[in-house]
A and B are shown apart, each in its own frame.
Chain A
Amino acid sequence: MSLLDQKTEAVVRLESVSKSYGDLLALDRVSLTVRQGEFVCLLGASGCGKSTLLSLVAGLDGITGGTLDIGGRKVSLMFQEAALFPWLSVRGNVELPLRLQGVSRPERRKRAEELLDIVRLRDFGDKRPHELSGGMRQRVALARALAQDADILLMDEPFGALDAMTRDILHDELERIWREQDLTVLFVTHNVREAVRLGDRVILLSSRPGRVIEDYPIAHERPRRIDSPEVSGQAAEITDRLRAEVARHAH
């Protein structure tokens, strides 16, 4: 796997990227490469600028220094809230990116059906977002993100607001969809086990300012389970490192 990774091309390249808001330095010379088909998790405590980093990659915000190169690729972004539009049906929400791209109605309808099928919500197209549970809404948001047909999927703690059981199942789902759809994912979380469960690599960021302090390759066999000894073991190791980093801010 790791041998293959090195051969595939880099889709996101950050070279000593800095970002400051006035006097506040949010990110300090962050260098990071995400390759085609890779699942990279960004992990850090509060104030490490992980969401800032995603905004930069998504182009929602400009960098202050360094180079950020995504080679003109398209990105889509998912948030902690599904943020579906209540005036549209589930299908309407999934179709919206296609509508904005000017895809014809029948084509749009067909593609939306396929996407709803991918997230296993085929029978819920006519429902309204409020009629679905939190986990289902998040899957609709995923389908909407996939509808953008982006090269890079950015996820900002997408499962942070869900209960453990739902999150567990959605991890399986995301892993499956990532594999089947050949996605490149940059996933932000503060949950260590989640990062180890999902990632090919876990990038650990320091807090205030955010710097890359560790880049752990995760080589465990997939599909993984969040409660398997391998995942737990490595998560414990990373947690120790993270705790040491947090303790640094005690004074």
Chain B
Amino acid sequence: MPIKYPSARAGLDGASGDTTAPVADKPGVNPESAEVAGLDALELGPRRDKGALGKRVWRSAWPKFLAIAIVLLIWQIAVWSEWKPIYVLPSPATVFTDLGNVITTGDFWDGVRVTMTRAFTGFLLAVVIGTVIGALVSQFAPLRAAIGSLITGLQTMPSIMWFPLAILLFQLSESAILFVVVLGAAPSVANGLISGIDYVPRTWLRVGQVLGMRGFAKYRHLILPASLPSFISGLKQGWAFSWRSLMAGELLVIVPGALSIGVRMQQARDLSDSSLVICYIIVVLVIGILIDVLFNAADNQLRKRWGLLS
């Protein structure tokens, strides 16, 4: 609903007695305090109404639905045009029916569990290692000179390049997959922390100094919270890298007995079941998106608290 006269609205809001304003509870105690309270009320301005929750959800959701609809339409047109035989490129309807069947089986969820366990273990390990390395590098200048650029180099390295070595080192085992996942994600986490620490504003550091923060207290109360935004984007990027490495790993390193999503996808390919392959692509995509939504929610929450979002 558009507001025609924002200033009139501000006046009304003020007059209708915002209960949090200190003017209300000490009317005319002395002119000085009224001046202060009045100025505060004026400077804070009226609260803006963001609209109902349903409306906001819809506003952010419809472009996404539209994008999905367009992709499905292009896919369907490709099928109709008989660009490829139907058993190679099945129609969306076939795939979604198959997907519906697959996700109602217990086997499928066992696969998801195996994959997600690997993803979380690898990611957590990468977070721990990346955080420790990041903290050390940002703390000691010689260490930064030594491995600072190496970290960035590792970050740009395609993780699939590590698999031959990982297989030689660990054979076809969980460790091989974990090794690559950690190598993929840890540099991003470390870099996120390093840049977060590097960009702590000087004035905050001065305040820390004035308040007498030293050693651990300085980290606990100043450096770590101040570097949190950058750290979170490092985590987010680290997750993306570890998820990618994991998917590559599951296709290459088939650990006997562990029927992960990657293995199931490989099996579907061996059976030339295009529809099932596409099902698993969709599953991997959806998991990736869901995790990203979680990271974004954390990020937005932080920005809101810090006042970086309006």
Using a CB–CB cutoff of 8 Å, the interface residues on chain A facing chain B are: 58, 60, 76-77, 79, 81, 83, 85-87, 96-97, 99-100, 120-123, 128-136, 148, 165-166, 169, 172-173, 176
Of all chain B residues, the one with the shortest Cβ separation from A77 is B210
Across the interface, do A87 and B225 meet the contact criterion of CB distance under 8 Å? Answer: yes
Across the interface, do A135 and B305 meet the contact criterion of CB distance under 8 Å? Answer: no
Contact of A85 among B32, B36, B40, B204 (CB under 8 A): B204
State A122–B24 Cα separation when bound (angstroms).
13
B39: A residues at CB distance < 8 A: 135, 165-166, 169
Given A131-B44, A165-B39, 5 new contacts (CB under 8 A):
A76-B210, A83-B201, A120-B33, A123-B20, A135-B40
State A87–B306 Cα separation when bound (angstroms).
6
State A166–B44 Cα separation when bound (angstroms).
13
Contact of A87 among B209, B211, B213, B228 (CB under 8 A): B228
Q: Which of B207-222 contact A (CB under 8 A)?
A: 207, 209-213, 217, 221-222
Q: A99-B221, A120-B22, A122-B22 are in contact. Are A133 and B40 (CB under 8 A)?
A: yes
Across the interface, do A79 and B307 meet the contact criterion of CB distance under 8 Å? Answer: no
Of all chain B residues, the one with the shortest Cβ separation from A99 is B221
A136: B residues at CB distance < 8 A: 40, 43
B284 lies within 8 A of chain A by Cβ: no
Q: A85-B226, A87-B228 are in contact. Are A128 and B210 (CB under 8 A)?
A: no
Contact of B44 among A60, A128, A132 (CB under 8 A): A132
State A98–B266 Cα separation when bound (angstroms).
60
Prevailing SS type, chain A contact patch: helix
Across the interface, do B307 and A130 meet the contact criterion of CB distance under 8 Å? Answer: yes
Across the interface, do B33 and A169 meet the contact criterion of CB distance under 8 Å? Answer: no
Q: A76-B210, A120-B33, A122-B22 are in contact. Are A87 and B40 (CB under 8 A)?
A: no
B35: A residues at CB distance < 8 A: 169, 172
Across the interface, do B206 and A60 meet the contact criterion of CB distance under 8 Å? Answer: yes
Across the interface, do B36 and A173 meet the contact criterion of CB distance under 8 Å? Answer: yes
Contact of A176 among B32, B44, B210, B212 (CB under 8 A): B32
Across the interface, do A120 and B211 meet the contact criterion of CB distance under 8 Å? Answer: no
Across the interface, do A148 and B204 meet the contact criterion of CB distance under 8 Å? Answer: no
State A60–B21 Cα separation when bound (angstroms).
39
Across the interface, do B206 and A97 meet the contact criterion of CB distance under 8 Å? Answer: no
Contact of B207 among A83, A120, A131 (CB under 8 A): A83
Across the interface, do A123 and B225 meet the contact criterion of CB distance under 8 Å? Answer: no
A100: B residues at CB distance < 8 A: 211-213, 217, 221
> Across chains A and B, which 6 residue pairs bring their CB atoms closest together, nearest first?
A130-B307, A133-B43, A86-B306, A87-B225, A83-B203, A77-B210
A148: B residues at CB distance < 8 A: 211
Across the interface, do B305 and A128 meet the contact criterion of CB distance under 8 Å? Answer: yes
B40: A residues at CB distance < 8 A: 121, 133, 135-136
B167 lies within 8 A of chain A by Cβ: no
10 residue pairs A–B, Cβ–Cβ below 8 Å: A60-B209, A87-B228, A100-B221, A130-B307, A132-B44, A133-B44, A136-B43, A169-B36, A173-B32, A173-B36
A120: B residues at CB distance < 8 A: 22, 33, 36-37
- Min Cβ gap B261→A in Å is 38
